[in-house]
Amino acid sequence: MELHIVITGRKDLAAQLYQQLREAIASGRLAAGAQLPPSRLLAEQLGVSRKTVSDTYATLTYEGLLVGKTGSGTFVNAWAPQPGRVQTATDLACAASLAQWAALPSPMRHPTRDSTLRYEFIGGATSRNQFPQDEWRRCTQDALRRIAQNSGFYSQPEGLPELRSAIAGHVAFSRGVKCRDSDIVVTNGAQQALDLIARVVLEPGTVVAMEDPGYSPARQLFMAMGASVASVPVDEYGIQADQIPDGTRLIYVTPSHQFPLGMPMSMPRREALLARAFELGAIIIEDDYDSEFRYSGRPTDSLQSMDTRGVVTYVGTFSKTLLPELRLGYAVLPPAIYGAVLKAKQLTDQHSSTLAQWALAKFISEGYLLKHIRRCHTVYAGRRERILKRLAGDLSPWFETIPTVAGFHMAALCKVPVDIPLLIAQAREVEVGLYPLDVFFHDAPVRSGLILGFGAIESLDIDPALDKVRDILQQIG
């Protein structure tokens, strides 16, 4: 690939070359560390003498913009000075909007690979050791063959027919969802599904009702769109539907495994919620993020399976059952909003990656997904029991748990005053990742405690990690 330099006429060739190279470095078009073409090659490309190029390189090297490496060539200096003043956020006309985005917290941001601790109790993450590498590799190889045979056109915004069919069969079998292939839109994770639904339902100033405590990324998304988020309290039966305010357009709930407390929504509450949504003309988002893992009690159907009036949108994800990096989710949409959401998807990113879609379609249809869920269920059940035993044992002076029968996180509530920030800070010093519960409370009275995920931590690491937590608690009183 040739370096883009334009020389006009036959005058001031060295000055033209110098000015263009200097501007390319200053603007970042030639990034720090980028290698420049050899002087002979650039001279041939531009139709100038090699001496003109060599002299220009020498001048820029003297100024500190280039650096020569013996035997390697000429490179943009990593410490090259950047002349001129660059606009800051406060200089721009959109400064107020940028400030609002910058002020949004990130309570569920996962650590980078370099910052991951030895013992991680983070929620929403899975253990890489459980991922079926061999089966997924075979499905990915099949996906590559299919793409090689394709026309080269963009794919459908709603997702590949094969994947939508596989999803429809899977959610009907595992969650009792009533849907056809044509009700499904494949998305980049559940978060994009929330974004697309909100885009077509909400306008600035309209009301969204959410559980409190609740899933903060959803709350921040709705607020970023200009919505007014109404906090609706939850109790041991779930969201208190009678407190959903008039004028609500969108209701966001996690009925099968309330986030973050963990209890399921009772049947009377589900019926009351459906009736309230119909009365308001509101759409319900049912975020069924991890309820495929159930450990006790009778299975509960999805809220969507009870909907006879077309008010529930069922949102699911494969980030919890497979890997967060996969970034594939889906929405089962009622007819009233399907067409609008499909147009929003097309305008947002055209369609999700077909490579991952083809691979996942085969992974589901070949039975690998159900096999993987059953295998993980056994592992997670053991981890859950181990944590519950410790919380009921030597950690019981400080914490108590909320009964939960699904998912792979639980809430540990403080029984006595505990300095949670200090506990988390000292735990990090001994390679234990703990995460606070209070960040998910907004208007409801805060209940201090921890959210303990057991998807990412290995089974044999649970006791050593909780030993360290117990020791810290004893030290800080």
Mean pLDDT of 22-48: 87
Is residue 32 one of the residues assigned to a domain?
A: yes
Shared domain for 267 and 329, answered yes or no, is yes
Is residue 406 one of the residues assigned to a domain?
A: yes
Shared domain for 157 and 242, answered yes or no, is yes
Look at the block and give the residue holding tokens 């010093």.
429
Shared domain for 340 and 245, answered yes or no, is yes
Structural domain count of the chain: 3
**Among 246-250, 276-280, 319-323, 381-385, the least confident range:** 319-323
Q: What is the pLDDT of residue 428?
A: 95
**Residue 438 in contact with residue 446, Cβ under 8 Å?**
yes
Q: What is the pLDDT of residues 204-234, one digit of tens each?
A: 999 999 999 999 999 999 999 999 999 999 9
Is residue 109 one of the residues assigned to a domain?
A: no
Shared domain for 148 and 226, answered yes or no, is yes
Residue where a domain stops, chosen among 367, 385, 418:
367
Is residue 107 one of the residues assigned to a domain?
A: no
Give me the CATH number covering residue 155: 3.40.640.10
Shared domain for 312 and 380, answered yes or no, is no
Give me the CATH number covering residue 20: 1.10.10.10
Is residue 98 one of the residues assigned to a domain?
A: no
Tokens standing for 352? 């999700």
Using 50, 70 and 90 to split pLDDT, how confident is the model at 82?
Answer: low
Q: What are the backbone angles phi and psi of residue 66, rounded to the nearest 5°? A: -120, 160
Residue where a domain stops, chosen among 334, 367, 400:
367
Residue where a domain stops, chosen among 367, 395, 418:
367
Shared domain for 312 and 202, answered yes or no, is yes
Shared domain for 392 and 341, answered yes or no, is no
87, pLDDT greater than 60 = yes
Tokens standing for 246? 């008039």
By C-alpha distance, which of 262, 310, 249 is closest to 289? 262
Q: What is the pLDDT of residue 29?
A: 85
Q: What are the backbone angles phi and psi of residue 404, rounded to the nearest 5°? A: -140, 145
Is residue 87 one of the residues assigned to a domain?
A: no
Shared domain for 315 and 377, answered yes or no, is no
Is residue 331 one of the residues assigned to a domain?
A: yes
Q: What is the pLDDT of residues 99-154, one digit of tens each?
A: 888 887 776 677 776 667 889 998 877 777 888 899 999 999 999 999 888 777 88
Shared domain for 425 and 325, answered yes or no, is no
Shared domain for 156 and 274, answered yes or no, is yes
Shared domain for 300 and 168, answered yes or no, is yes
Question: 198: domain range?
Answer: 133-367
Q: Which of 69-83, 84-98, 375-389 has the highest mean pLDDT?
A: 375-389
Q: What is the pLDDT of residue 114?
A: 66
Shared domain for 399 and 416, answered yes or no, is yes
Is residue 353 one of the residues assigned to a domain?
A: yes
